[in-house]
Structure 1
Amino acid sequence: FETGSGLSRYSYRIDRFSNYYEFNNGTIGFPIGQDKGKVSREEAEQTYGTPFNAFTTVQLNAAFVGDNSFSGLTSPLDGFRYRLGIENYMGDFKLSALTADGRRYVRLKPITLAARLYTYSRFGRDESRLFQMYAGNGFLIRGYEANSFYKNNGSAPTNGFDINQLVGSRIAVANFEIRLPFTGPAKLAQIASKFLFSDLNLFFDMGLAYDSDSKVAFHRQPQMVGTGAGAYPERVPAMSTGISLRVNVFGYFVLEPYYAIPFQRSDIKAGVFGLTFAPGW
């Protein structure tokens, strides 16, 4: 049984950068300088139409936690883990949050079958006002990282599934992996190595981000709800499959390069590469 508390104070500093370039015969040339200046909160609110007020949060949390897993080179090999938790936020934001996280590992030498069910949900007056959560990070649903949307040469989705589908005050995720100790100790790994410890993984990820007023549907692509200016898209699960290699870097940290094929993304023609800095769940 775990308990904890926290006190956080958030404030904003907004700077404006002005870049200067050579201008010759109607053509912008090489950069020649840059200015940086602080923008007042009042000016920023008037310019961007949103308040930038400082705020304070006080958090209390408690959880039942269980772990009888056996760790391998970069992730658990056998056993189970679970966490059932509750959080309460006070201060300038008032809301509660529930966490349910269950993980099971079955060792079938030389591989391990791993599964995880995870959900985190906020409830209360300010559940959608505090920073929204993003379900597309590499530890939850691979292949949907925010930077892969913005660095896609401006390609737009044709099926209505965009980055907003992955943002919400509640998330639910299911993950499945086949893990193979790849390089490392001779008794465990397929390729003996005294320096490079790694696992090769095949994965399938599925998850959903939504809000209390979202319409959730299990389609391949979202449909519009309502008509006219008030129409909004359904929330549908995001799914991906792929392969990854988790590498234990001398016991200091674990990095995971991967290649994922995201099923819901129509803005790309193939899979996407990504990199996560975290041990296997």
Structure 2
Amino acid sequence: MLELKNVFVTYDPNTIFMSNALVDISLVIKKNESVGIVGRIGSGKSTLIQLFNGLIKPDNGIVLLDNDDINSKQVDIRKVRKKVGIVFQYPEEQFFAETIFAEVAFGPKNMGMRETELKNAVFSALKDMGFSSEKIAQRSPFSLSGGEKRRVAIASIIAMNPDILVLDEPMAGMDFNGKEKLIKYIKNEIKNGRTLVFVTHNMEELLEIADRVIALDDGKKVFDGRVRDFFSDEKLIEKIGIDIPSVVRMRNRLKKHYSDIPFCRTPIEIASYLKKRNRL
């Protein structure tokens, strides 16, 4: 379990450039949750996820992982980063290895994996990201398309088998096929007990993957709850500059005529409801 208690983060303190990146943030992320973090640019989303494995420290407040303060001297930060794996936006810009295998192997190797275990972890992670041929592991990561690079970057984190997987705009730059593979992987991992936290501007992705939404505005948490409740709060959505997905718009229009229509995540669910209703 990951918990933040009354966390504040301030950039450039005691200068004329001082700004509050995060203000009094408290939240709990439990095992097997799928949590989407949303908000306009500059709302504090990327700062928030950097707190999760100690990449930055709060100016006030504490960050707990399994009830341990991750920023205390008694906690091994390497173990924290093994449990909480983060893939940042445009991670491919940080590639450095000559081969895809070496790129994906770097993290787990530093965590202590050796030989057979390391090889199995690398190829399993690449397969999860849709790279079925082992030959591709010997290619340069710089020879890949943008979407393929993103999937390799994600593979480099899941090869370490983190308990909590944190993704910043994971599907940016991916084609339809790449997105489908990643969504399939994410849904399967959630079923198997993995915890997922992801930052996104794409509300269709949020609707399809998330069970819970955390919304930030100007460094403050302004919503924390179910996806259906988030999309029902039209005033909040307008305030933080979020586009309502077409499926939700359609469902909301239908609700004016059919008060019993449930929350629907896909057009198929809407069609199924209408089909059943017409049979009555």
Q: TM-score range by the shorter chain?
A: under 0.3
TM-score, scaled relative to structure 2: 0.23
Larger radius of gyration: 1
Higher relative contact order (CA 8 A, sep 6+): 2
Hey, which of these two has a bigger chunk of strand by percent? 1
TM-score, structure 1 normalization: 0.23
- Between Structure 1 and Structure 2, which shows a larger proportion of helix residues? 2
